[in-house]
Amino acid sequence: MKKVLLHICCGVCAFACINYLKEKGFYVEGFFYNPNIHPEDEYAKRKNTAAQVCSINSIELTSGLYEPHKWDSTCSVYKDEPEGGDRCDLCYKFRLEETFRKTAEMGFDFFTTTLSVSPHKKSKLINEIGTTISPVHFMAVDFKKNDGFKKTFALAKAHNIYRQNYCGCKYSIR
């Protein structure tokens, strides 16, 4: 069975993505790496929610380090960009590069991300970034297709999963 490491941005987004990958016959493990999330208590909520969703779906969850200073030193150059601008593109790349590193370290066949399930995210760009990082190991999926977001939202609601009201970074709070 092929193994895929699923970058999880938040618990809500993970439900439909996990189900999709399992239905395709993959062994799935979650990877929570989001040093962009601000403030730290919001990061803890989202990490706990991701763990809850992984538990409900009977998959393991590995977490990367919470190093917001590294994210900020990379992405703050675009702090005045609107949501969905160059800062977001750089943020996707930042997190997917670490997910690829973890994929290789853990011996997984593929990696992908829940980011593409959101109607607020540019799936084509996310998949281009992942494919540029590793054309062999990145699994380009637009999880929002076939009502992916609708399904993931319904599952989150059914399980009473915490849902945030902003992307995550300190610049998106506004």
| Domain of residue 42, CATH code | 3.40.50.620
As separate numbers, helices (DSSP H) first and strands (DSSP E) second, the chain gives 6, 4
Asked if the model's pLDDT at residue 174 lies above 70, the reply is no
Cα(13)–Cα(50) distance, integer angstroms = 9
pLDDT for the residue 40: 96
pLDDT for the residue 83: 86
Per-residue pLDDT reduced to its tens digit, 17-27: 999 999 999 99
Q: Is residue 67 part of a domain?
A: yes
Q: Please give the share of the chain, as a percent, with pLDDT higher than 90.
A: 83
pLDDT, mean of residues 130-145: 97
84 pLDDT band, cuts 50/70/90, is: confident
Q: Is residue 171 part of a domain?
A: no
157 pLDDT band, cuts 50/70/90, is: very high
Q: Is residue 92 part of a domain?
A: yes
- Which is nearest to 149 in space by CA: 18, 49, 13? 13
Residue-range definition of the domain harbouring residue 21: 3-158
Neighbours of 164 (CB within 10 A): 15
Handedness of CA 66, 69, 74, 77 (dihedral sign): positive
Q: Is residue 128 part of a domain?
A: yes
Number of structural domains found in the chain: 1
pLDDT for the residue 98: 98
Q: Is residue 124 part of a domain?
A: yes
Q: Is residue 40 part of a domain?
A: yes
Q: Is residue 166 part of a domain?
A: no
